[in-house]
Amino acid sequence: MNITKTLDKNVLTIALEGRLDTMTAPQLEEELKNSMEEADLLVIDLEKLDYMSSAGLRVLLSAQKQMADRGGMKVTHVNDIIMEIFEVTGFVDILTIE
């Protein structure tokens, strides 16, 4: 998985490419731990992400909880496969999806 990070004013955009799964979720977790403090708003861009498993959902949930006290977090460019994963797990009600 590739992670591209962009900080524009206080908006941190993390764009993911490939698969967010057991092997790659720790990479995202580490990246967020290192850079989330700089941001008031976190945008997770999934345009180039093929799919995610529950390991990825856990990282998103944790980020969502941490950003809730600040400007928040939103998830963008969700494909059909990932949207279905968000739907069946109830993550559609937890995340802000645009």
Partner 1 sequence: MPAAQKTKDSGKEDPVKEITVEARTESIPVVTDFVNEQLEAIGCPIKAQMQIDVAIDELFANIALYAYETQKGTATVQVETVSDPPSVAVTFIDSGIPFDPLTKEDPDTTLSAGERQVGGLGIFLVKKTMDEVTYRYEDGKNILQIRKNLTV
- Which residues contact partner 1 by CB under 8 A? 19, 21-23, 50-55, 57-58, 61-62, 64-65, 68, 80-81, 84-85, 88-90, 93-94
Q: How many CB atoms lie within 10 A of CB 89?
A: 13
Q: How far is the CB of 70 from partner 1 (least distance, A)?
A: 14
Q: How far is the CB of 23 from partner 1 (least distance, A)?
A: 6
Identity of the residue, 80 or 98, whose beta carbon is nearer to partner 1 in the bound complex: 80
Going by the DSSP 8-state scheme, the letter that residue 71 receives in this structure is T
Distance CA 47, CA 67 (A): 21
Q: How far is the CB of 71 from partner 1 (least distance, A)?
A: 15
13-44 as b/e, with b when 16 or more CB fall inside 10 Å? bbbbeebbeeebbeebbeebeeebeebebbbb
Identity of the residue, 53 or 76, whose beta carbon is nearer to partner 1 in the bound complex: 53
